[in-house]
Homo-oligomer: A and B are copies of this chain.
């Protein structure tokens, strides 16, 4: 859906800056497609439209079935005007000329004109097949998927990564808006939590806040008392005394910018001693990462420092045995913390993940095959202007801790009797969104507490 930009000069200015920066990196034209709405169970029943992120970055608005040409710092919009039938059913929607004005386009033509402008242009393949077919048809060549681009498409992809890796003020303003709404949603979720409710009821309370602000969920919400199921998208369990509720819920602004927040809280409003012990270890890992973040720091080292903090804490509790650095070396931490400590955040919640690891991994680096590193989505030195998530977690994943090979491999370092005492801790994750600044960091999500005591206060503030 078109979001009114009107006379938003800051949008026009920033779009101009972005395309001028792109022009400095490239000497060929670029064409980017927004995509078309995708049907649900029948053609006229659409999922909410979301333009391709690369298009959004340079075109600013969530325009259906639009194409932009970027050439020498100039912007050309290709879009058809609303038909009379469209006006009948959808009311007056902006004309191509209005949109062109709102995004500061230099030229604007109907889509049919696009075929005259495609010579020697690079693009990024979209995910949606109909538009992808348009791309190959109009560029008159094969286009590789966005995670394996070739030739000028690869050059373009690298240029886009250079730009999108760090955020300008407009992007940060949008991310902050998304975060503000996500924080409100999490607080609402905490206050709505009561024994006997379902996970779905808490999800409804949280997503209701996001919808009320005319935002969308940036990703499928996780709201579960089974946090040990990492990508849990069932919401049917009843909240029971002793449960921890893990909520990974984030809003996305109408212009497409994401947020990503996880909190874990006790449904009674009171952490048990065992829950508090583990929570504090996860929080220590979270805090240690954030304290050490600044430009130049390797994100991979943050991950390893989180792993080390987890290992130290679990040794202190007697769950793990041995020397913490050695435990991390052996990936023993990953038995309980099997994912990476975070990822890039921007227009996509996993920003630029459509490019595979081209954005997440610095040139020449590839994924490790180590159990404790293979799920790391980001392996680059931090730069001022990056926004990343920091999201350590502790989970008792049955598929891991009951796995015979793992049990055998790590039999000397796990105290199973001790672990059994922590059976009321199935899954805890604490996730914040962090901006790298010239001198260190700004925790963009800082208005949502992470400390157990402050979280308990919000839960008890049920009015």
Main secondary structure of the interface of A (DSSP, over half): loop
- Say whether B226 contacts A213, CB under 8 Å: no
Residues of B within 8 A of A45 (CB): 219-220, 348-350, 353
In A58-94, which residues have CB < 8 Å from any B CB? 84, 87-92
**For residue A85, which residue of chain B has the nearest CB?**
B399
Bitwise, A194-222 to B at CB < 8 A (1) or not (0) is 00001011011101111111100001100
CA A431 – CA B48 in complex, angstroms? 23
> Do residues A204 and B208 form an inter-chain contact, with CB atoms below 8 A?
yes
- Indicate whether A111 reaches chain B with its CB closer than 8 angstroms: no
Contacts of A209 in B (CB 8 A): 204
A40–B256 alpha-carbon span in the complex (Å)? 12
- Contact (Cβ within 8 A) A41 B47: no
Assess whether A235 is interfacial by the CB under 8 Å rule.
Answer: yes
A236 within 8 A of B: yes
Residue-wise, chain A 261-305 has the 8 Å CB interface mask toward B (1 for contact) of 000000000000000000000000000000000000000000000
Q: Type the 1/0 row for A232-244, where 1 means its CB is closer than 8 Å to any CB of B.
A: 1111100000000
Nearest Cβ in chain B — how far from A157, in angstroms? Answer: 14
Residues of B within 8 A of A40 (CB): 47, 50
B212 touches A203 (CB 8 A): yes
A200 near B212 with CB under 8 A, answer yes
A338 located at the interface, meaning its Cβ lies under 8 Å from any Cβ of chain B in the complex: yes
Contacts of A349 in B (CB 8 A): 45
Nearest CB of B to A373, in Å: 16
User: In the complex, which residues of chain B have a beta carbon less than 8 angstroms from the beta carbon of A171?
Assistant: none
A130 part of interface (Cβ distance < 8 Å): yes
Residues of B within 8 A of A44 (CB): 350, 353
**A: number of interface residues (CB 8 Å):** 66
* A48 CB to nearest B CB, Å: 7
Chain B residues within an 8 Å CB radius of A220: 45-46, 48
Q: What distance in Å separates the Cβ of A56 from its nearest Cβ neighbour in chain B?
A: 9
Contact A200 B204 (CB under 8 A): no
Return chain B residues, CB-CB under 8 Å to A364. none
The answer to whether the Cβ of A331 comes within 8 Å of any Cβ in the partner chain is no
Are A129 and B127 in touch, CB under 8 angstroms?
A: no
Query: Which of A44, A84, A88, A209 has the most chain B CB atoms inside 10 A of its CB?
Result: A88
* Interface residue A354 (Cβ < 8 Å from any Cβ of B): yes
State the CA gap A236–B130 with chains docked (Å): 31
Closest CB-CB distance, A267 to chain B, in whole Å?
16
Min CB distance A198 to B, Å, is: 7
Q: Return chain B residues, CB-CB under 8 Å to A39.
A: 127-128
| B232 pairs with A91, CB closer than 8 A | yes
Chain B residues closer than 8 Å to A350, beta-carbon distance: 42, 44-45
A115 within 8 A of B: no
**Would you call B235 and A214 a contact (CB within 8 A)?**
yes
- Shortest Cβ distance from residue A255 to the other chain B in the assembled complex, whole angstroms: 13
Q: List 8 A-B contacts (CB under 8 A).
A: A41-B127, A41-B348, A42-B354, A45-B219, A84-B399, A91-B226, A200-B211, A200-B214
Residues of A whose CB lies within 8 Å of any CB of B are: 1, 4, 38-48, 50, 52-53, 84, 87-92, 127-130, 198, 200-201, 203-205, 207-214, 219-220, 226, 228-236, 256, 338, 347-350, 352-354, 397-400
Return the 9 tightest CB-CB contacts between A and B, nearest first: A208-B208, A204-B212, A91-B229, A204-B211, A42-B354, A200-B214, A129-B129, A201-B212, A204-B208
Q: Other than the known A38-B47, A41-B348, what 4 A-B pairs have Cβ atoms closer than 8 Å?
A: A38-B38, A41-B347, A205-B208, A205-B212
